[in-house]
A and B are shown apart, each in its own frame.
Chain A
Amino acid sequence: MAGAVELSEILEHPEYMEPIPYKREIEIRGRLSRSIVEEISRAKKEPEWMLRLRLRALEAFEKLPTPKWIYGIESIDLEEITTYYVKPVEKPVEDWDKLPSEIRSIYEKLGLPEFYAKYLAGLSTVLDSETVYSSMKKVLEKLGVIMIPMEEAVKKYPDLVKKYFSRIYPLMEHKFSALHYALWSGGVFVYVPKNVKVPYPIEAFFYVGSELEGQFEHTLIVADEGSELTFIEGCSAPRFKKYSFHDGMVELYAHKNSRISFITVQNWSRNIVNFNNKRGITEENAYIEWLEGSIGSKYTVTYPSTILRGEGSGTSSIVVGIANGPYIKDTGSKVIHAAPNTRSRIISKSISSRGGVNIYRGMVQVNRGAKYSRSHVQCDSLILDEKSKAYTYPIIHVMDNTADVGHEATTGRINPEQLYYLQTRGLSEDQAKSLIVLGYIRDILRGLPLEYVAMLSRVIQLEFERIGGVG
């Protein structure tokens, strides 16, 4: 583990790592076209149905308009992306030592082998477009849990994959979802059998290794009746001269009485354009919890959404967006109440500083017949200086008169009285500001495993100590 660095150091300085060159088995470059899509499918030795889906998606991508309402969309030129598929190794390994040394060093620098050994039940790492490492502890195998790279699942469990793949997040939803389905590569498939409660989190770590590259990983999680799972998604990238594009997708299906907690800790370097498509469906009395910490990236667009299809099901979505510098965080959450007695809670916390822009977009829809559904949306923005901005765009759409739906939002600055109080207790102004910011986003920290809380607290603390003089 020569030159190993704590994960927190990487997260606190995403520009810390320079890109590490490594040998690629396959690299597909050029302008996006039908032949590129066919080449990707061929390289993956996919079944015919998947190629057809990809081509259908490509057609949709070409037809669908670019959504004009996205702030700063004009600055993204998809034509610039030239690398669509990179295969770093022949096939994923279960042993770190079997990885080529230059690739292993990336993960050792991130401290992932150590983290897996101590805290996780399973780990899958995606480097550029492909899964390079996938391992699950023996105890889960005995319980019948499936955790394999998505490509492998397509071949090994075609019926199971077909049942859910693209059924939760339709490819026609918007231009970027169509693009994702045309080019998807990498990601994890997780299936938790009936009544199995996975005791430790499973993690997938996504790493973009080169500039002007597109990463389109697909994660599909199915929790069968009465099961429980916590899944952590970590994202990072080294410093590039030009930007790279991430258009990932997460599909969750929570069967009756099951529970899925999906945690994202996103700290891409500041030249990643990050589109993230996330959607879950809940059956009767199931629960999906989204926890999204969006710290890095140049530009992030993500709205975790849930369709509450089963009676008594619920969802919560806690989104924290930090725009520290001239970056844009366009985050939020969507919930559709499609069954009676469903409940949802959305909490969005954003912090803008040094010219950062935070945008909240959310939608709560209660369908006709979703009797006695309840929803509460709380959306708080903290602006630390005069150059930064915060926008809130909620939509409430209620079609049932027994539903109880509310939205509240506040935007403010750090209260000088709080600052003064902490300073009288011996804290410097910077320390006091960091402490207030940490208190402000405590909701996201509350849901994380203890080790992540310690690490993230430190990252956020350092992030704000660096801008301590502002506000």
Chain B
Amino acid sequence: MNQRKKVLLSWTALVAASMLAGSQPSLANEELGKLSKDPKQWVMQSGDYANQRYSSLKQITAANVKELRPIWSFSTGVLRGHEGGPLIVGDVMYVHTPFPNIVYALDLNNQGRILWKYEPKQDPNVIPVMCCDTVNRGVAYGDGKIILNQADANVVALDAKTGKELWKVANGDPKKGETMTGAPFVVKDKVLVGISGGEFGVQGRMTAYNLKDGSVAWKAYSVGPDDQILFDPQKTMNLGKPVGANSSLSTWQGDQWKTGGGATWGWTSYDPQLNLIYYGSGNPSTWNPKQRPGDNKWSMTIFARDADTGVAKWVYQMTPHDEWDYDGVNEMILADIKVKGTPVKALVHFDRNGFAYTMNRETGELLVAEKYDPAVNWATHVDMKTGRPQVVAQYSTDQNGEDKNTKGVCPAALGSKDQQPASFSPETGLFYVPTNHVCMDYEPFKVSYTAGQPYVGATLSMFPPKGESHLGNFIAWDASAGKIVWSNKETFSVWSGALTTAGGVAFYGTLEGYLKAVDMKTGKELYKFKTPSGIIGNVTSYEHGGKQYIAVLSGVGGWAGIGMAAGLGGDTDGLGAVGAYRQLANYTQLGGVLTVFALP
């Protein structure tokens, strides 16, 4: 009772304080912001609001990481691809699974004993509506609640202590191809939730629900009329200029925007000082560019929106009129760095299209746009005045047209990087990026839209760049110069989120199943351990009982799992044995396991 009174009191004080400051009450924000600064915990999927995936813990160092060993492990009981990672809040670890989207609360004081388990009842008919496996990128924490985005587009709030369902809302309709794979993101008293379904012609949107009861605070579509996309024609800026009226509608033919895609299945970040949230939108639907003339705004776009109202402050479209499925949903990493000598509140984004963008996150000014994989060939460069990529005619699937096979486009539709998040180290000032090194042939063809049916309209085949046999790299990136500092080859795409630490060690997982530790300065491999299955999850660090731990989910699958059985690349490419060598199935099999590592 006393404690409750105290909480109430401090809450009242907080409300009073924030009212004085002229902003809205935001208890969850205060708590979460504070918790995210405690390196012993890992309270949001990306570690902090800035999406840096950096831990200031430094027990594990470049000198001693070779002593690292698995301490305990936990089977999730689910076979499909395991993306995302666990949260650590106080003495409890929260572990999620792909469909059926089980959530476990594990007691860190008792070797991971299960405190509670939540398993939603979902119609399995949602499974085939999900593009590329039934992955889920993790739960969010805020205001004493665990928020889960279910595959069937329901958002559920659970009592973090008991697992009891507190509220549940439908964020979409799987019968229209609307599903959820992305992680929710808590900001202040709201939880931000995106939607998947770019291959089913959904109208992408970001929705803010009130954490308290699940009611809608605001909803901002990626494509459509100004009142639906929450744009102010005069105040919403694009590269320093107001977007003007109907900035999305004028770039679509007729009603095509209604099935125009721009899904929001990636990551969200937040700058508390600017009170802006950042995220990207995905591909315009269909994959056949001939069928949807125009720039198809605002698909493939970085959005900076007011966290309270959802109104867009600035936007930038990276790939106008997409012809290759280069979704713009990858994470926006917020970092205060020097760009060409000047300190900038920067936003750094490694896009699927193979360019790494450094922007001023306050104004939306484009500062740097360079290729982060030398194989990228679909555009020569980004025009820094217009912000438009300069497309190479040979690789334009639109110019080559329907029923024509455009060959050797790099990167493949997987992108030079997909959703697997990169990490930023404030100490080295560098970004550590898991990448794909894959090219494709792409042939668009005419399709018709049917609600709930695939709306793709292109066939593609994927293979490594000409003359090469590795499919991935792990790189260190200088976002000021726009240059690769070092690059490690990987046999397969690196589909695991990176972690950097104050101990000078960066971690990531590989599709074969290795957890790897590398020296952040040189990239030198310092440690590896083969977990039970391929890793597409993100690496996490926390401290408990005075000890630093590294945790990661293994469980191969996702889009990476699509080439698993036979490997990428045809048997016509003359690589023979190398082709066979690329078969992931020879290295790993399915199964979700959380592995926790520590020094002895």
A and B: interacting chains: no
Interface set of B (CB-CB < 8 Å, partner A)? none
Interface set of A (CB-CB < 8 Å, partner B)? none
